[in-house]
């Protein structure tokens, strides 16, 4: 799906480019562990999980090591290939708990229901239009057991990212190429489409004696009340927000918002007319 000329559509180049280098992805997010602990705790309570955006197993592998069966869906073939390589180094009991599917989360039908469906770490931000979001939520709905939970998390829109000077480049800390160890100069630029609520971040890497390269990332920016309405009007209820993965109220800045909800009960035939 998609290509360089279709930025701002699900599965576009700027959705997938961020995941073309699993080694860089692994290194960049190696210290992000609070969400892993959160999903592992949820998974252990049910034992069987469908994970959208399984990637290279940052969350799926810890789940499987704790005895949880994981069915993973992802559109990135490089990330799934890396997950397969990582699984090959795991004990047989862990390998047999993980099953992956390469496909579009808006369309893939597995013919099975689960006691827990999760979409961690901004998965839904790669869906940009209402139609794309509703197609995905319809798939989630049909894969949930009765009274099962759907849990996702998203970054909370940061005003400084949405109001900054478009195209301005910001220097970041130096990084190292995960494969060669070469030091790289790193910078980012931000551009925000205020009408479509799409933030484009372009990461630029420059190495000594070699040409620089850029990696685009597009993400739809959702505000909490907007997500609550989308879930409510697409068949979910008991919608709860957990700022930074805690049920406790939090004042001040919130980085990530975990959202938990359930399939809404079907209306009786007479009730559906009103």
Residues 217-236 have a mean pLDDT of: 96
Residues 37-61 have a mean pLDDT of: 98
Helix, strand and coil percent figures for the chain, each rounded to 5? 30, 30, 40
Question: In angstroms, rounded to a whole number, what is the distance separating the alpha carbons of residues 193 and 191?
Answer: 7
Q: Which residue has the higher pLDDT, 6 or 149?
A: 149
Which of 79-83, 101-105, 181-185, 257-261 has the weakest average pLDDT? 181-185
Reduced 3-state DSSP string for 129-166: CHHHHHHHHHHHHHCEEEEEEEEEEEECCCHHHHHCCC
Residues 34-39 have a mean pLDDT of: 96
Give the pLDDT of residue 150. Answer: 98
Which of 67-76, 226-235, 239-248 has the weakest average pLDDT? 239-248
Q: Which residue has the higher pLDDT, 268 or 158?
A: 158
Give the pLDDT of residue 261. Answer: 98
Give the pLDDT of residue 3. Answer: 36
Band of the pLDDT at 184, cuts 50, 70, 90? confident
Distances (CA, A) of 259 to 64, 123, 167, 246, 250: 23, 13, 32, 10, 15
Band of the pLDDT at 196, cuts 50, 70, 90? very high
Give the pLDDT of residue 9. Answer: 66
pLDDT at 273 over 60: no
Give the pLDDT of residue 42. Answer: 98
Which of 1-5, 15-19, 202-206, 245-249 has the weakest average pLDDT? 1-5
Band of the pLDDT at 5, cuts 50, 70, 90? very low
Continuous H helices in the chain = 13-16, 22-28, 34-46, 60-65, 77-88, 92-95, 130-142, 159-163, 224-232
- Mean pLDDT for all residues in the chain: 87
pLDDT digits (tens, 9 = 90+) for 155-179: 999 887 787 666 666 666 666 776 6
Q: Are 178 and 27 in contact (CB under 8 A)?
A: yes
């Amino acid at each position: 799906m998609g290509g360089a000329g279709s930025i701002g559509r699900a599965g576009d180049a700027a959705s997938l480019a961020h995941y073309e280098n699993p080694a860089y992805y692994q290194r960049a997010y190696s210290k992000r562990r609070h969400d892993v602990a959160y999903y592992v705790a949820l998974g252990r309570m049910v034992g069987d999980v469908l994970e959208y955006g399984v990637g290279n197993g940052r969350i799926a592998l810890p789940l499987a090591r704790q005895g949880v069966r994981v069915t993973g869906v992802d559109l990135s073939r490089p990330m799934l290939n890396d997950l397969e390589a990582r699984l090959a180094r795991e004990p047989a009991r862990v390998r047999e708990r993980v099953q992956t599917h390469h496909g579009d989360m808006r369309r893939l039908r597995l013919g099975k229901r689960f006691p827990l469906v999760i979409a961690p770490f901004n998965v839904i931000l790669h869906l940009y239009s209402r139609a794309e979001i509703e197609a995905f939520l319809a798939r989630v709905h049909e894969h949930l057991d009765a009274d099962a939970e759907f849990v996702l998390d998203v970054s909370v829109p940061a005003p400084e990212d949405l109001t900054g000077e478009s195209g301005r480049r910001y220097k970041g800390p130096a990084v190292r190429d995960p494969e060669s160890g070469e030091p790289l100069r790193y910078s980012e630029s931000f551009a925000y489409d205020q009408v479509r609520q799409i933030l484009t971040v372009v990461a630029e890497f420059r190495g000594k004696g070699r040409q620089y390269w850029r990696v685009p990332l597009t993400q739809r920016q959702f505000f909490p009340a907007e997500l609550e309405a989308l879930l409510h009007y697409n068949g979910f209820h008991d919608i709860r927000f957990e700022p930074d993965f805690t049920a406790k109220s939090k004042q001040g800045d919130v980085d990530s918002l975990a959202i938990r909800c359930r399939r809404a009960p079907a209306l009786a035939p007479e009730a559906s007319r009103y």
